[in-house]
Amino acid sequence: MSKVIAIEVGTHAAAKAGREGRRNELLRWMLLAIASLIAILSSPVIHAGRIKVEKEQIKLGFIKLTDMVPLAIAYEKGFFEDEGLYVTLEPQANWKVVLDRVITGELDGSHMLSGQPFGATLGYGTKSDMITVMSMAINGKGITLSNEVWSKMRAHVPKDPSGKPVHPISAQSLAPVVTDLKAQGKPLKMGIVFPVSSHNYELRYWLGAGGLNPGYYAPSDASGQLKADVLLSVVPPPQMPATLEAGTISGYCVGEPWNQQAIFKRVGTPVMTSDQIFAATPDKIFGVTKAWADKNPNTLIAIVKAMIRASLWLDANNGANRKEAAQIISRPEYVGADYGVISNSMLGTFEFDKGDKRPASNFNVFSRGYASFPFQSDGVWTLTQMRRWGQIAEAKPDQWYLDMAKQVMRSDVYLKAAQLLVSEGKAKREDFPFDSDGFRAPTSDLMDGPMFDGKKPNIYIDSFKVGLKGNQKVEGGEVVGK
């Protein structure tokens, strides 16, 4: 009997221990589940709508210019991290280095000139299929002349009753100075930042509207100086003021803050801003290779989402955030220029001469008026200027321009990112042109007046007095054809 009792007691004790063990195990798993749930809900990097990126560690390039600011804001405000991206921003020496390093894959993408994806895709220079998925800024550039040239030009510029120059200033006022210098055997030399830059095209546009020929490119001569009245050559943006001061050039077209820096250092005088030439000139874009985009489609959308948020932040509440933005990019790791110099143009003004500061609300635009949307008509405008000056050597039909713009300007990627932001409540539907066909309305809002219709590029090209048109091309240093 004692044995039976002992067995029953032992069995009962074992069962009790088993039940307690199962309860403890269940309790342990419940506590783990609760802890995991709390961790998920409290994690700062978990967001509704986040897409799974193919690549988390990203290196993006930029040049030290004010319009790199969407990258800086997306980084500083945590917009990249919200998308699961861990981004390194790295300044580059010049635009050629930017292009080369994106093509080789040393950079995943970069702040880039609006013409670079077209130049590379067409094989003008380094050949690589490239795309752009958003505009980082429109306008934002200026034309600056040395104090010596400006003092001679100023005599030919109309004045208002107070004696200040009437803006916009035509290059017709520069023509007599160019004529005098040529008679002395001293051609006027000016700097551009890269051959396929909007800076090159806008400086040429200004000069051509004033009756001055800035020269042609040809398959056998990439200098762009054939038959030129004014000689243009490449100078890296941050070096513009010093090169002007050294007398190597007598003027330049560059983005900010390097026009205002010329005033600050008293080495030059800005005479034009890009928005005075064309109210919505393509400027900087975010560019990647097509191969990278095909390999990392979700990562690209995540990058665009973060940068769109930065662009919206920059233009929110009539630019209320611009002071903070100017302070951020004045730091050495970004632009590294004095806050006062950067804020001259970032805060809705532009200083043309010492003490001559004027309103310039459209000088830097990041999102207002769909500024960050990659309009294909902006790409067509760039291509018309490449053709006008011989970088596109022979005539092309209208459809070629439209097809090339559609290939390079990937508005579909932008709109996917925009739709996600709207669905997440981080942007409003009215912030984006969801119903756009990719083309701005035809406009005559250019300084020399010809109507620009992005769907009729050849009519636009043929409207200029200076530049190639029709079937013209450059052969043996001469313009031939009709």
The answer to whether the CB of 393 falls within 8 A of the CB of 218 is: yes
The answer to whether the CB of 202 falls within 8 A of the CB of 382 is: no
pLDDT tens-digit series, residues 201-221: 999 999 999 999 999 999 999
Q: Which residues of the chain have pLDDT under 50?
A: 1-19, 21-22, 29, 31-48
Q: Do 263 and 286 sit in the same domain of this protein?
A: no
Instruction: Write out the DSSP string of 155-203.
Output: GGS-B-TTSPBPSSPPGGGTHHHHHHHHHTT--EEEEES-TTSHHHHHH
Q: Is residue 99 part of a domain?
A: yes
What was the pLDDT predicted at 20? 53
H/E element holding 315? helix 297-315
Q: Do 359 and 426 sit in the same domain of this protein?
A: yes
Retrieve residue 308's tokens: 């769109």
Q: Do 274 and 291 sit in the same domain of this protein?
A: no
Tallying the residues shown for the chain, one arrives at 482
For 398-434, letters b (16+ CB in 10 Å) and e give: beebbebbebbbbbebbbbbbbbbbeeebbeeebbbe
What was the pLDDT predicted at 30? 52
User: What is the three-class DSSP state of 424?
Assistant: coil
Q: Is residue 165 part of a domain?
A: yes
The answer to whether the CB of 474 falls within 8 A of the CB of 216 is: yes
Taking the CA atoms of residue 200, residue 141, residue 396 and residue 226 in that order, the dihedral angle to the nearest 10 degrees is -20
Q: Do 310 and 267 sit in the same domain of this protein?
A: no
Q: Do 299 and 241 sit in the same domain of this protein?
A: no
The CATH number of the domain holding residue 130 is 3.40.190.10
Q: Is residue 213 part of a domain?
A: yes
Domain range enclosing 159: 142-280
Q: Do 270 and 170 sit in the same domain of this protein?
A: yes
pLDDT tens-digit series, residues 154-190: 999 999 999 999 999 999 999 999 999 999 999 999 9
Q: Do 170 and 297 sit in the same domain of this protein?
A: no
Q: Do 270 and 354 sit in the same domain of this protein?
A: no
Q: Is residue 61 part of a domain?
A: yes
Q: Are strands 221-226 and 216-218 parallel, antiparallel or unpaired?
A: antiparallel
Q: Do 198 and 326 sit in the same domain of this protein?
A: no
Of 239, 260, 280, the one marking the end of a domain is 280
Distance separating alpha carbons of residues 408 and 130, to the nearest angstrom? 6
Q: Do 158 and 102 sit in the same domain of this protein?
A: no
What was the pLDDT predicted at 47? 44
Q: Do 182 and 318 sit in the same domain of this protein?
A: no
The answer to whether the CB of 83 falls within 8 A of the CB of 50 is: yes
What was the pLDDT predicted at 38? 38
Q: What's the burial of 167, exposed, middle or buried (CB within 10 Å: 0-12/13-18/19+)?
A: middle
Distance separating alpha carbons of residues 28 and 31, to the nearest angstrom? 5
Q: Is residue 449 part of a domain?
A: no
Bridge partners of 349?
Answer: 359
What was the pLDDT predicted at 98? 97
- DSSP at 375: -
Of 245, 260, 280, the one marking the end of a domain is 280
φ/ψ bin of 331: left (φ > 0), alpha (ψ from -120 to 50), beta (otherwise) = beta
Q: Is residue 453 part of a domain?
A: no
Nearest to 268 by CA among 145, 355, 167, 151: 145
Of 280, 315, 343, the one marking the end of a domain is 280
Q: Do 62 and 168 sit in the same domain of this protein?
A: no
Retrieve residue 365's tokens: 């635009």
Q: Are strands 268-273 and 251-255 parallel, antiparallel or unpaired?
A: unpaired
The answer to whether the CB of 55 falls within 8 A of the CB of 296 is: yes
pLDDT tens-digit series, residues 312-353: 999 999 999 999 999 999 999 999 999 999 998 999 999 999
Nearest to 361 by CA among 377, 378, 349, 351: 349
Q: Is residue 287 part of a domain?
A: yes
Domain total of the chain: 2
Q: Is residue 454 part of a domain?
A: no
